[in-house]
Amino acid sequence: MARPADRITRRDALRLGGATLSALALPGLLAGCGGAAAGGGSDILRLAQSADPQTLDPQKQGDMVSMNVLVNIFDTLTAATPQNTIGPGLALSWTALDPKTWRFRLRRGVAFHNGEPCGAEAVKFSIERLLDPETRSPIVELRFVEGATVVDPYTVDLHTSEPDPILPAKVSLFGGVILPPKLLAETPPEEFARAPVGTGPFVFESWRRAHEVRLRANTDHWNGPPGVGGLVFRPMPNAASSLAAMQSDELDIVTGLTPDAALQLDGYPGMRIESHPGIRTAYLSLDTEDGPLRHRKVRQALNHAVNVPLLIEAVLDGKARELPTMIPRESFGFDKAVEPYTRDVGTAKRLLADAGYPDGFATTITASNEDANVAEAISGLLAEAGVRAKVALLDPGTYSTRLTSANKRALGPIYLAASTGWTMDGQSLVQSNVRSDRRQSRWDSAEADALIDAQEQSVDPEEREEAFAALQRLLKKEAPFVFLYQLDNIYARNARPRWEPGVTGSLTMASAELEEA
């Protein structure tokens, strides 16, 4: 039997409640004294992205948000140049010994942040770790790579099962990251993923999940010390709050803005909206094997009807560039001789009538709900030509599940798609949606298949360029897609940072500088 003294009485419970209450209230009262976070005036550059990195193990992530942090900690074999070509990274030069072997000659005297030297062995280790199924890497570009051999301490060969003419471009980001073999032999992978060690211009300092990643300058970097003393990446899912954070001097650059968000903020004091050419390419995929879209004239009519310049002006605030086909301007293979479709509702109507649809037809445009505005606007433009396109919106997860489903009609007759060909080679834009046997292709053309093969299997740039040119002419004529635009990369910044981003939109911050405050 419990003695009364052991029991909690009502009185005690109430008293306890009161005490807890005042204890809880304390932080609330004290908080007022804190004041806003400092940061302005230092040599730390603070950036906001829409999300937190997936992991900081560069071989276990496959999204741009994670890569944007990692590209500052790690070096890649090759790297995009300010002129939007592929230039040296850890590799100084590369040649195709034969169509299935690429030889990379490495920079000497490079060391990881822990002092471990970086050479051919590290490259071999990194490539093999990436390919190891145990790593469960979501990086898919190196699908033809079978292995690496060390020729000498600063020369390494990559062997592929198929010719891979753009392998040097593919190792400019994700798959090209080089990791320290010795450290990884001693460190469990989970630990490395929380405190990564690379050769890059910044050294990892700390990571508090969903709050911030801190890096400091690597003063011993082979390319000289970076222009700022450190970087802070903050995940800010809400664009309005990140811009408010910038106005209260908690951020210097907000990245990855949509034209919508940028438009709302234009003109606010202390804030500059910057729009830089980008290569994210948008198009409509058409099911050329079913219904009215089987007719070439119908597909051409849609291309005439969708007034892309108007779309860019009205919906994207001018922050995109019209494209003749789906290979963006800065990509290898872009043929400027191919002109965009003329935008003319009359022509569209005439072509529809010729094809047997004088009154147009009803169809559906499917899009991810992130692209709702564009899809609605396209539907409106099509309506003027008599094509009644209902817009079906899906959440991004469902959209991507259906995009690559075995059923090529899972997204309906027309869907809005976009892809970022960060290799800056035309191949990345057409590899999975043109050749008839590819997963997202809805077009059966022997001619197109042959041209895809030509550019995929030749390591001769001229041959490839020719194939791309012919492919773009064919794409325009046959119109298996409605070609739209390449989207700008939009940033907001305060007066401090100076930084010129490349077209891929990757946040390589070594060249950034801060104005003296």
Partner 1 sequence: MKTLPILRAAAVRLGSAAVVLLCVATVAFFLVRLSGDPVKVLLPPDATAAQEATLRASLGLDRPLAVQYLDYLWGLPRLDFGTSLFYDQPVATVLLERLPATLELAAAALAVALLIAVPAGILAAVRRGRAGDTGVMAGVLIGQSTPPFWVGILLILVFAVQFRILPASGYGTAAHLVLPAVTLAIYSVAVIARLLRSALIDVLGADYIRTARAKGLGTGAVVLRHGLRNASLPVITVVGLEVGSLLGGAILTEQVFAWPGVGRLTVEAVANRDFPLVQATVLFFAATFVLVNLLVDLSYTLLDPRVRVAE
3-state secondary structure of 419: strand
Check binding of 428 to partner 1 (CB under 8 A): yes
Contact 75, 220 (CB under 8 A): no
Q: Which is nearer to partner 1, 237 or 358 (CB)?
A: 237
Check binding of 206 to partner 1 (CB under 8 A): no
Q: Mapped to the 3 state alphabet, what secondary structure does 210-252 carry?
A: CCEEEEEECCCCCCCCCCCCEEEEEECCCHHHHHHHHHCCCCC
Contacts of 477 (CB under 8 A, 6+ apart): 296
Min dist CB 249 to partner 1, Å, is: 8
Min dist CB 98 to partner 1, Å, is: 24
Please name the amino acid found at residue 371.
D
Q: What residues between 439 and 478 interact with partner 1 by CB under 8 A?
A: 439-440
CA distance 401 to 516: 48
List the structure tokens of 417.
């798609």
Check binding of 400 to partner 1 (CB under 8 A): yes
Min dist CB 444 to partner 1, Å, is: 19
Check binding of 383 to partner 1 (CB under 8 A): no
3-state secondary structure of 385: coil
Instruction: Give the interface segment with partner 1, choosing from 283-291, 302-310, 427-435, 467-475 (CB under 8 A).
Output: 427-435
Q: Which is nearer to partner 1, 51 or 345 (CB)?
A: 51
Check binding of 164 to partner 1 (CB under 8 A): no
Cα distances (Å, whole numbers) of residue 100 to 149, 162, 415, 456: 13, 6, 36, 12
CA distance 416 to 286: 9
Q: What residues between 230 and 249 interact with partner 1 by CB under 8 A?
A: 234-238, 240-242, 244-245, 247-249
Q: What residues between 46 and 105 interact with partner 1 by CB under 8 A?
A: 51, 54-55, 57, 60, 62
Q: What residues between 104 and 163 interact with partner 1 by CB under 8 A?
A: 133-134, 136, 138, 140, 143
Number of chain residues interacting with partner 1 (CB under 8 A): 71
Q: What residues between 320 and 349 interact with partner 1 by CB under 8 A?
A: none
3-state secondary structure of 202: strand
Instruction: Give the interface segment with partner 1, choosing from 32-40, 178-186, 345-353, 499-507 (CB under 8 A).
Output: 32-40
Q: Which is nearer to partner 1, 202 or 422 (CB)?
A: 422
Check binding of 395 to partner 1 (CB under 8 A): yes
Instruction: Give the interface segment with partner 1, choosing from 162-170, 302-310, 390-398, 466-474 (CB under 8 A).
Output: 390-398
Return the residue of 44, 110, 184, 193 that touches partner 1, per CB under 8 A.
193
Check binding of 30 to partner 1 (CB under 8 A): yes
CA distance 407 to 404: 8
3-state secondary structure of 332: strand
Contact 476, 324 (CB under 8 A): yes
